[in-house]
Structure formats: C-alpha cells, structure tokens
Structure 1
Amino acid sequence: MSLARIRILAVGKVRKAWLRDGIALYRRRLPGLEVVELRNATPEREAAAIRAALRPDEQLVVLTEEGQCLGSVDLAARLAEQQSTGGANRLAFAIGGSEGLAPDLRSEASWRLSLSPLTLPHELARLLLLEQLYRAQTILQGGPYHRG
C-alpha cells in the first residue's frame, strides 16, 4: 500500500497540543501522506472546499458515524483492494468540522467510513485516522506494530 496515494482533507486546525503531538508522531511515520487543512465554515462551504481540493483521480472517502465500521485488519484489506483496482485509485479521506459533513457531500462519496459509532471531535478523528492508516500500513507490510 502506498500512502503517497492517500490524502486527508481535514476541516479546521488542531488546537490542543497533545493532539498536535500525536498527529505529528504519525505524520513522521507516514512520509508521503499529505494532510490538507481547510477553513472552518458552514457544512455547505466546507463541502465546497473539499470538492475544490479533490484531485480528478481521487475517490472521496468521508468519515461519518453512519459509515462502514471496520476492524483494523479489514480496513487494511479494504485499502489494499481500493488501491489495487485500476482507474481512479487515489483516496482522499474527508473529515468535517464540528458540525459534520454536509449530507450532499456524504452522498457523493465512493465510500463512507466510521472510526467508531461514537461521535468524535474532528481533531480526535484526525489522530485516530492517522493511527489507523499507520496500523494498516504495518499490517500490509507484516510489521510488528499490530498485535491483533
């Protein structure tokens, strides 16, 4: 799995130092993975910014509590499968702001993913997604990080 083929489009800045530290740790472990921060606004304006940031060859994956909830091994397999198919096989994970993602953007996504059935603050969702992407990478590479 090439994480250079994955981007995170995240609404808002991370303000809490402990979250910034955790995010920085996983970004160092995931060289090539790009995180694009978008400005907080209304869900409709955030959706427009996410659409504008999407590349033509990217599939949109939205993080939403109504999305598919996968275990770490299943997530790794899904990422590997997504990236092994032909055509538009880049992924852009969208994390909404405090009001969540606009319903029309959620319906446009090729995949809806849930990190948990719980509602999470968008800053924490960013950290959890980065950790799970790192875990997925190590699972696919056979590394010792995941001890499922």
Structure 2
Amino acid sequence: MPSFPRLKLIAVGKVKKSWIRDGIDLYGARLPELETVEIKDSNPVKEGEQVLAGLRGGDRLVALSEAGTCFSSVQFAAFLGKAPSNRLILFIGSAEGLSLEVKQQAQVLLSLSPMTFPHELARLMLVEQLYRAKTILNRGNYHK
C-alpha cells in the first residue's frame, strides 16, 4: 500500500465563514499528517518569499494555480502516494495570485478545476480531496 506523505498546507488569509471552517476542521481532524498554517495577506512577492524561506531540504512545493494541472481524485491520490517521504507543501496564494518565483520553484502547479472558486472554498475543497486521496490509497469506503 502506498504511503501517505506528511503535508503542510500554507494559505494566505484567515477563513471567515464558519461553515467553511467547520468543513476544514472536519477533514483536517481525519488527517493527522496535515499541518495548516495561515499567513498574512500582503502581496504575492512577500507571500512567496515567506513560503519559500520556510522550505526545508527535501520539501516538495505544490502551488495552487488556475493554470495548473487538473487531476481526477484517483490521479491525485496516485500523485500523493508517489510523493517522497519528506513533506509536501501545498500553497494557496491570495486572490492576487502567485509570485513568479513561487511558480518557478514549485515542483507542481495544481488546479482544482478550470472554474474559479473563492479562496476559502478552495481551501475546503483541497482538504477534502486530501482526505479522499488518503481513503483511496487505503482502500477505504469514502470514495465511491
């Protein structure tokens, strides 16, 4: 059975809607591998510098971008199952987008959909997909 990587989700800004926070907390509680960090909303360059400065050797950066690759849930699970045993850093930037440096240094640019979603909702969708991927890899009943 493929291993599931340690995950760090870095997101710009705070979740303000309680129902979104509740959903993130629900799926986050099912993912002990997940650490979540919120950084202050400033501008893409400063946000990117903060994220890149926190990377450690062996970390793999995945940045969410509308121009990124779309995976099905099963493909996303396979991607996570093949991730190195080090941390996978998932970065959701602000509405202003990602800095050029983040785009260049990310090993993967990931798109949740060709559609545009509010950043808070994208955060919930990503955490749910992380949980779904884990259940797919563990052959659980959640994904049908």
| Superposition TM-score tier, normalisation by shorter sequence | over 0.9
Write out aligned runs for 1:38-49 (5 A). 38-49=39-50
Deviation at 1:124, TM superposition (A): 1.1
User: One-letter code of the match for 1:115?
Assistant: L
Match of 2:128 among 117, 122, 131: 131
User: One-letter code of the match for 1:129?
Assistant: L
The gaps in structure 2 that reach 5 residues or longer are none
Deviation at 1:52, TM superposition (A): 2.0
Distance 2:116 2:101 in 1: 19
Matched, 1:140 2:134: no
Distance 1:41 1:54 in 2: 19
1:89-132 Cα deviation digits (max 9, x unpaired): 42100000121111221121111111111122221111111000
Distance 1:54 1:133 in 2: 20
User: One-letter code of the match for 1:51?
Assistant: L
The answer to whether the 8 A contact 2:4-2:80 is kept is no
Matched, 1:111 2:104: no
Higher helix share: 1
Instruction: Give 3-state SS (helix, strand or coil) of 1:48's partner.
Output: helix
Distance 1:20 1:53 in 2: 25
Corresponding residue for residue 2 of structure 1:
4
Deviation at 1:2, TM superposition (A): 2.8
Distance 1:36 1:53 in 2: 11
Deviation at 1:135, TM superposition (A): 0.2
The gaps in structure 1 that reach 5 residues or longer are none
Instruction: Give 3-state SS (helix, strand or coil) of 1:94's partner.
Output: strand
Distance 2:121 2:54 in 1: 22
After the TM superposition, which segments of 4 or more aligned residues of structure 1 sit over 3 Å from their partners? none
Corresponding residue for residue 76 of structure 2:
75
Corresponding residue for residue 37 of structure 2:
36
Structure 1 range deviating more: 51-60 or 35-44: 51-60
Matched, 1:100 2:97: yes
Distance 1:20 1:55 in 2: 28
Corresponding residue for residue 88 of structure 2:
91
Deviation at 1:83, TM superposition (A): 2.9
Instruction: Give 3-state SS (helix, strand or coil) of 2:82's partner.
Output: helix
TM-score, normalisation: structure 2: 0.93
